[in-house]
Structure 1
Amino acid sequence: MARRRLTGVVAVGLVLASATACSSEAADQWRRGGMPEGITQQSTIIQTAWIGAWIAALATGVVVWGLILWAVAFHRKKKNSPDRLPPQVRYNLPIEILYTVVPVIMVAVFFYFTARDETEIMKVDGNAPVKVAVEGYQWSWRFTTDFQGQKVVTAGVPVDLSKQNVQTPQGPQLVLPENTKIQFDLHSADVIHSFWVPAFLFKEDVFPGNVHNKFEITTLNKTGVFFGRCAELCGVDHSRMLFSVKLVPQAEFDQYIKTQAGSAQ
């Protein structure tokens, strides 16, 4: 009997611990507005803009829903006066001015914050110590990492989706140092692709013949392996165009470049 009670207590404890972990993770997800946890300095800007947009949208929704309910409650046709219409507001100049001015102000505010954040996110000063040439092709990726004049080339083939999991991500792996500015130069060998790492909270289209598509990120102190994929339908094996990004400490990255420079993986 005592053993059964002990087993029951342990089981309840495990359930509560799992529920607490899940609730904590869910709470973090709610705070991020459903976005994954960012691993770049730029991702914090995107996260703030995303949450701000949600707050503004919800505030607008509350006002609209409130006005609808107010109109339904106080401006419906009266039972005792079946032929009487509720008060009309046509040609009411103050209200029409309000209808026009408020949306213009809202759009102007959205435009300002969007333009400000986009300018910061897309800023490229060209002095990043690590530069990565990204080439998309049907249906994989080629990464050429340039660090202090040493280059490492990593290329892949369409992956076997049945083998894709967190422990062994399929496709070419791009190794990058943490807490470092990195410049990406994007190019396509055939059709339009899209370079997307969800943990960057950012993606950029990859165009054939366009060598000017580039962006910069500054990685945070968060080591680990993060999935990436093509986000533009580009052909029959689009879903197999996967890759991964591995963030490592600077010393490990230096060793990686030293041992792999000049070789094609």
Structure 2
Amino acid sequence: MLSFVRATRPALLLILISALALAGCESVFTPISPQAQSIANLATILFVVAGLVFVVVEGTLLYFVLRFSRGRPAGETAEVETKNERRIEIAWTAAPAVVLAIVFIVSMVILRFLVTQPAAPGMGAAASAQTLNVRVVAHQWWWEFDYPDLGIVTANEMHAPVGATLLVSVESADVIHSFWSPVLGGKIDAIPGQINRTIYTVTKVGDYGGQCSEFCGVDHAFMLFRVIVEPRAQFDSWVRQQQAPAATMTGHAASGEQMFMNGACIGCHTINGTIARGTLGPNLTHFASRGTFAGSTQQNTRDNIVKWLEDPQALKSGNLMPNLHLTPDQIQALADYLESLR
């Protein structure tokens, strides 16, 4: 027994580590929309059917292995008997066909539900109290969220009021990406020159994860985003905050603003109400109101902002922001400015 434990210890340790690693991942089995719920239902059905097939096939195999494993007495030869068992032949042909037919029908019903959602005609209409238009633009390696009816552009965090129906259009600014939050529903490809549309109805308050699910370059694994579903009053407060112009700066923040406007920053970033109109990088108008940055890989803290300004590659290797070789005083002033953009 002890030798068995020793022999299986590496495998058990690997299973334990894998379980712990997956514990914090988003799952299709914790849906927050009817669309995701239908996908979770399909996954459950397929798992149950596959499990039953596995039990029947492996159980039958194990039975015959045990039943005929004793062998024959020495000198005894096996009699070869040939006989057409038409009923057995029909059964083992019909059974897989029936299983596949059931899986096909269930899959088509759920697929029809997903693709016949009334989304496309309303994509350009003004958002109602329960409908929200969101334009998602994928960049290497971050996400832009544009609310055209609200005049809001932000990055890496998609806000929505609970109970709202999100009419989402997905596109790419560079290469092919794929927008996927398991709790919302199926993934949607972001393709240059093409707009793909989908619809989600969010039903549970919370902060959920999402990611790019199509390999898109060196930082593909670090192209994350957050889905923040909040009560209507809290969402309305967020909208008012995001629609406000950037605050007037004083003190060290004013020095940082001047440095920002006179430097290379305005070539890539936009800050509403200023001369900064760059579009290569995230809109920073209300940067300090976000919980994360750098493709949602870094918490928005003073320490991380300073480290990012010192050397962007140190926090997210491969990202497209160059090292501007700022002095410590410049970094502190810019950090003050960025922290004031609420």
Q: What residue in structure 2 maps to residue 6 of structure 1?
A: none
Alignment correspondent of 1:214: 197
Contact 1:123–1:216 (CA under 8 A) maintained in structure 2: no
Cα offset for 1:44?
A: 1.9
* Pairing 1:128-167 to 2, within 5 Å after superposition: 129-146=131-148, 149-155=149-155
Query: 2:134 is matched by which residue type in structure 1?
Result: V
Tell me the SS of whatever aligns to 1:84.
coil
Alignment match of 1:226 (pick from 201, 208, 216):
208
Counterpart-to-counterpart distance in 1, 2:163 and 2:227: 14
Supply the distance in 2 between the matched residues of 1:132 and 1:35 (Cα, whole angstroms): 22
Say whether residues 1:42 and 2:32 are aligned partners: no
Alignment of 1:118-137 (within 5 A): 118-126=111-119, 127=122, 129-137=131-139
User: What residue number does 1:72 align with?
Assistant: 65
1:66-110 Cα deviation digits (max 9, x unpaired): 211222233557413642057656x53322222221111111110
CA distance, structure 2, for counterparts of residue 65 and residue 72 of structure 1: 10
Structure 2: how far apart are the matches of 1:87 and 1:75? 16
Which amino acid in 2 is paired with 1:57? A
Structure 2 CA distance for aligned equivalents of residues 40 and 92 of structure 1: 50
Residue in 2 that maps onto 1:84: 78
**SS of the counterpart of 1:199?**
coil
C-alpha deviations, 1:108-149, integer Å up to 9, x for none? 110111111122123331347101111112111111124xx3
Match of 2:214, SS state, is: coil
Matched, 1:205 2:199: no
TM norm structure 2: 0.57
Q: Is the 8 A contact 1:178 1:249 kept in 2?
A: yes
Q: 1:88 to 1:183 in 2, by over 3 A?
A: farther
Q: Deviations over 1:144-185 (max 9, x none)?
A: 124xx3231113xxxxxxxxxxxxxxxx21111111111111
CA distance in 2, matches of 1:209, 1:77: 67
Cα deviation for residue 56 of structure 1 reads 0.8
Percent of matched pairs sharing the same residue: 29
Q: Describe the shift of the 1:83–1:202 C-alpha distance in structure 2 as closer, same or farther (beyond 3 A).
A: same
Matched residue of 1:71: which SS?
helix
Which AA in structure 1 matches 2:150? Answer: Q
What is the match of residue 230 of structure 2? 248
* Cα distance change, pair 176–85 in 1 and its aligned pair in 2 (3 A): farther
Report the 3-state secondary structure (helix = DSSP H, G, I; strand = E; otherwise coil) of the residue aligned with 1:200: coil
Partner of 2:318 in structure 1?
Answer: none
Structure 2 residue ranges without an equivalent (≥5) = 1-19, 123-129, 245-271, 273-282, 286-342
Residues 1:180 and 2:161 aligned together = no
Contact 2:177 / 2:191 at 8 angstroms: preserved in 1?
A: yes
Question: Going by fraction, where is strand more abundant, 1 or 2?
Answer: 1
Residue in structure 2 matched with residue 189 of structure 1 by the alignment: 173
Conserved? CA contact 2:185–2:200, under 8 Å? no
Q: Distance in 1 between matches of 2:80 and 2:199?
A: 58
SS at match of 1:184: strand
Q: Cα gap change, 1:253/1:92 in structure 2, threshold over 3 Å: closer, same or farther?
A: same
Structure with larger Rg: 2
Give the aligned residue type for 2:188. E
**Residue type of the alignment partner of 1:62:** V
> Aligned partners of 1:87, 1:189: CA distance in 2, in Å?
69
Higher relative contact order, chain-length normalized (CA < 8 Å, sep 6+): 1
Number of aligned pairs? 213
Which range is displaced more, 181-190 or 68-77? Answer: 68-77
Report the secondary structure of 2:151's partner residue.
strand
